[in-house]
Amino acid sequence: MNTLVKRPNGRNLADPWTSDFFDVDTLFGRNLLRPFEKTLPTVNISEDEKSYKVDVVAPGMKKENFKVNVEDDVLTISAEAKTENIEEDEARQYSRREYSHSSFTRSFRLPDNAKDDSISANYEDGVLNLTIPKTKSQVKSTKEIKVN
């Protein structure tokens, strides 16, 4: 809900009586803090009677880039990718190097009925798919999960 008050000069101001008055986007414009935002991959979490599914959308990564851990009922998914492109042209005597580095970490508290020691991970078509089986009794574990 974004309520604005119309001033006589035509400029809109945030209505001070609404709950979004202190919203940064409303006060300073949408792009003010954009350079400082971290980009995180989107995550879809679903469940059925047998398991929870966590899908992390991370295109351009390789399965080797991911590190998936579980400790004290906290699932942590992280990835780091670095690339370096070098182009050389002997006629011009210059070298161009472009570096790229991207990383993220996401953590999720697992429910009590999650079977921590049986989590599986698979990376395919730009999506990391995690399957967390359900159990009747709580099973805690500390381990690194291999991404297939």
Q: Are residues 50 and 121 in the same domain?
A: yes
Domain region containing 114? 39-145
What residues have CB less than 8 Å from 127, skipping those under 6 apart?
Answer: 55, 56, 57, 58
Q: Are residues 27 and 57 in the same domain?
A: no
Q: How confident is the model at residue 142 (pLDDT cuts 50, 70, 90)?
A: confident
Domain count, the chain: 2
Q: What pLDDT score was predicted for residue 55?
A: 97
pLDDT per residue as tens digits for the range 64-79:
999 999 998 899 999 9
CB 142 within 8 A of CB 66: no
Q: What pLDDT score was predicted for residue 25?
A: 52
Q: Are residues 27 and 47 in the same domain?
A: no
Give the rounded distance of the alpha carbon of 113 from its chain centre: 24
Question: Of residues 62 and 96, which shows the higher confidence score?
Answer: 62
Q: Are residues 28 and 70 in the same domain?
A: no
Q: Are residues 26 and 86 in the same domain?
A: no
Q: Which tokens is 52 given?
A: 């929870």
Q: Are residues 15 and 66 in the same domain?
A: no
Q: Are residues 97 and 117 in the same domain?
A: yes
Q: Are residues 44 and 66 in the same domain?
A: yes
Question: Of residues 35 and 8, which shows the higher confidence score?
Answer: 8
Residues above pLDDT 70, as percent of the chain = 64
Q: Are residues 15 and 55 in the same domain?
A: no
CATH of residue 61: 2.60.40.790
Q: Are residues 9 and 72 in the same domain?
A: no
Q: Distance (Å, rounded) from C-alpha 118 to C-alpha 131?
A: 9
The sign one gets for the Cα dihedral 102, 81, 51, 76 is negative
Q: How confident is the model at residue 125 (pLDDT cuts 50, 70, 90)?
A: very high
